[in-house]
C-alpha cells in the first residue's frame, strides 16, 4: 500500500446548530509538519464564534485545503494526513479511532476525540506555502505573483490581497472596490467580513447599477445593500423557523421592582467582592419558577410527536453583540448559587461579545431570559428561541405612580412578558409561572421561601 493510498482526509466538521460553513482565519500548521491526535491545526470563524479545530488524525501534513480568508462548507476536505516515514504512527497514537471511522464526533478545542462522538476536521495552508493549486485569483499563493518570484523576476504590485473566490464574488455582486477595502486577515488578506463591513458603512452606498451579468437586481439611488450572510443569516433562519413551527402566545404583567432593587443593594453591600446583577436575580427567580412549572422547560419533538421536558435548566441569555444577537447558554443553571449565577452571566456575556465562545456554548438551551430593557423599551412580544418552549422578557425599570397600601406612591416599575409554545401547556401553567415570577420580583422574600 502506498503512502498516497494510506493518506487520510479530514473534513470540515459540523461546528454547531445551523452552521453550514466557516471561514479560515489562521492555520496552525504547514505542509510537512507532524501532528498528533487532537492537536489544534486551524482557527476558523463561524457565524457564531471563532474556534480552534483539533485534528483527529496523527501523521504528517500532506495537503492543506483552503487558505486564510477562504470560506469552506461543512463536509469538504480540510487537510490531508499521511503516516510518518515507514508507516509507523507516533507512540501511543492510532491514526484514527473507532468513533472517527464512523465519520462523526466532537473535535472542537475543549471537546477532543477522547470523549463523546467524534467529528471530522479540516486544515488550511499558510500564505507562503502553496502545496496545491487553489481555486483563487491571481493574488493567491502559487498564482501569478508566486510564479514571478520563482523565476527571480520582481513580483508585480498587488492592489488588493484576496484569496477567497467567495470574497471576490461578494465584492463583484455588490459593486465593492476591493482596492478600497482594508483587509483584517493574516498579512492583510481581505476576508468576507471586511467586504460585509464595507457594505454596511456609509461610504459603501452604491454609485452604480451592479453588473447585470452576476444576476443582481438594479437598486435605487442611495440604497444600501446588506447581504444576508453570516450571523444575520443564522438569526433569520432560526427566527423564521420558530415563527413557522411554534404556535406562540405572549402574556405580560406590570410589576413593582422596588423590593428587588433593594434586595440587590443589600446583597451587594454585604458582599462587595462578589456583586450580583439584577439579571442574576431574575435568573434565580426564573429557575424557581421552572422548578414549579417544568412544562415550560421543554421542547416539542415533532418527528416523534412528543414533548420532552428537560431534567436540567440550560438557561439561555440573550446578548446583543457587534456580530448580532447571540444566546449563550448556562448549562445546568439550577445547580448554581446566586453568586455563581452572577459570575457566570458576567463572564459568559463578555465572552459572547468578544466572539470567543465555542459553538457548543451557543446551542442546547431549554429556556431563555431576555433583558430588552437595556434598549430603553418597556415591552415586547419576543420570538421563542427554537426549539425551546418559552422565553421571559424584561422591560426597562422606570419610576411610575403605583398604589401601595391604598396610597399613591412613586415606585420602580417594569413589565414582564412570557412568550410560550401553546403546544407544551395551556394558559393556566403559563400564567402561574409568570405570576410566580412577578410575585418574587415584588416580594423577594417569597423567593427565599421557595428555594
Catalytic residue, from 65, 93, 174, 422: name it.
Answer: 422
CB 412 within 8 A of CB 373: no
DSSP three-state, residue 376:
coil
Cβ burial, residue 411 (10 Å; 0-12/13-18/19+): buried
**Pairing mode, strands 21-27 and 398-404:** unpaired
Which residues, at least 6 apart from 420, have a Cβ–Cβ distance to it below 8 Å?
A: 248, 249, 250, 251, 296, 384, 389, 390, 391, 430
Distance (Å, rounded) from C-alpha 396 to C-alpha 270? 26
Cβ–Cβ under 8 Å, residues 345 and 278: no
The CA distance from 44 to 108, in Å, is: 11
422 is catalytic: yes
- Contact between residue 161 and residue 187 where contact means Cβ atoms under 8 Å apart: yes
CA distance 381 to 392: 10
The H or E element that residue 234 is part of is: helix 230-245
Q: Beta strand 50-55 with 77-82: parallel, antiparallel or unpaired?
A: unpaired
At 12, phi and psi to the nearest 5? -60, 120
Whether the ω angle into residue 387 lies within 30 degrees of 0, i.e. cis, is: yes
From the number of C-beta atoms within 10 Å of its C-beta (0-12, 13-18, 19+), residue 205 rates as middle
Which residues form the catalytic set?
422
Amino acid at each position: 500500500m502506498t503512502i498516497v493510498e494510506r493518506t487520510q482526509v479530514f473534513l470540515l466538521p459540523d461546528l454547531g446548530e445551523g452552521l453550514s460553513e466557516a471561514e479560515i482565519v489562521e492555520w496552525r500548521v504547514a505542509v510537512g509538519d507532524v501532528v498528533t491526535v487532537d492537536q489544534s491545526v486551524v482557527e476558523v470563524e463561524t457565524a457564531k464564534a471563532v474556534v480552534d479545530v483539533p485534528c483527529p488524525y496523527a501523521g504528517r501534513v500532506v495537503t492543506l485545503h483552503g487558505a486564510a480568508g477562504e470560506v469552506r462548507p461543512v463536509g469538504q476536505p480540510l487537510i490531508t494526513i499521511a503516516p510518518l516515514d515507514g508507516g509507523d504512527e507516533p507512540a501511543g497514537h492510532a491514526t484514527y479511532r473507532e468513533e472517527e471511522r464512523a465519520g462523526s464526533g466532537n473535535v472542537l478545542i475543549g471537546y477532543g476525540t477522547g470523549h463523546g462522538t467524534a467529528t471530522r476536521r479540516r486544515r488550511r495552508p499558510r500564505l507562503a506555502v502553496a502545496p496545491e493549486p487553489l481555486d483563487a485569483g491571481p493574488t493567491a499563493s502559487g498564482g501569478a505573483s508566486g510564479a514571478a518570484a520563482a523565476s527571480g523576476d520582481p513580483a508585480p504590485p498587488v492592489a488588493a490581497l484576496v484569496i477567497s473566490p467567495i470574497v471576490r464574488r461578494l465584492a463583484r455582486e455588490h459593486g465593492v472596490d476591493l482596492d478600497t477595502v482594508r483587509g483584517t486577515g493574516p498579512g492583510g488578506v481581505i476576508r468576507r467580513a471586511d467586504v460585509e463591513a464595507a457594505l454596511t458603512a456609509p461610504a459603501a452606498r452604491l454609485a452604480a447599477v451592479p453588473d447585470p451579468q452576476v444576476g443582481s437586481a438594479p437598486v435605487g439611488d442611495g440604497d444600501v445593500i446588506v447581504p444576508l450572510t453570516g450571523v444575520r443569516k443564522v438569526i433569520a433562519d432560526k427566527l423564521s423557523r420558530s415563527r413557522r413551527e411554534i404556535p406562540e402566545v405572549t402574556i405580560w404583567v406590570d410589576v413593582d421592582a422596588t423590593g428587588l432593587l433593594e434586595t440587590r443593594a443589600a446583597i451587594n453591600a454585604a458582599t462587595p467582592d462578589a456583586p450580583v446583577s439584577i439579571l442574576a436575580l431574575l435568573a434565580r427567580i426564573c429557575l424557581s419558577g421552572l422548578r414549579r412549572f417544568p412544562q415550560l422547560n421543554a421542547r416539542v419533538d415533532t418527528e416523534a410527536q412528543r414533548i420532552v421536558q428537560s431534567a436540567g435548566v440550560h438557561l439561555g441569555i440573550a446578548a446583543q453583540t457587534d456580530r448580532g444577537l447571540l444566546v449563550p447558554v448556562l448549562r445546568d443553571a439550577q445547580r448554581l448559587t446566586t453568586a455563581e449565577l452572577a459570575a457566570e452571566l458576567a463572564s459568559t456575556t463578555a465572552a459572547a461579545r468578544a466572539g470567543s465562545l465555542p459553538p457548543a456554548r451557543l446551542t442546547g438551551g431549554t429556556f431563555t431570559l431576555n433583558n430588552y430593557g437595556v434598549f430603553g423599551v418597556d415591552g415586547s412580544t419576543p420570538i421563542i428561541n427554537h426549539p425551546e418552549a418559552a422565553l421571559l422578557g424584561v422591560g426597562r425599570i422606570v419610576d411610575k405612580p403605583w398604589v401601595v397600601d391604598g396610597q399613591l406612591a412613586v415606585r420602580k416599575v417594569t413589565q414582564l412578558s412570557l412568550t410560550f409554545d401553546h403546544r407544551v401547556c395551556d394558559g393556566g401553567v403559563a400564567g402561574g409561572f409568570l405570576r410566580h415570577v412577578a410575585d418574587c420580583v415584588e416580594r423577594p422574600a417569597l423567593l427565599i421561601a421557595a428555594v
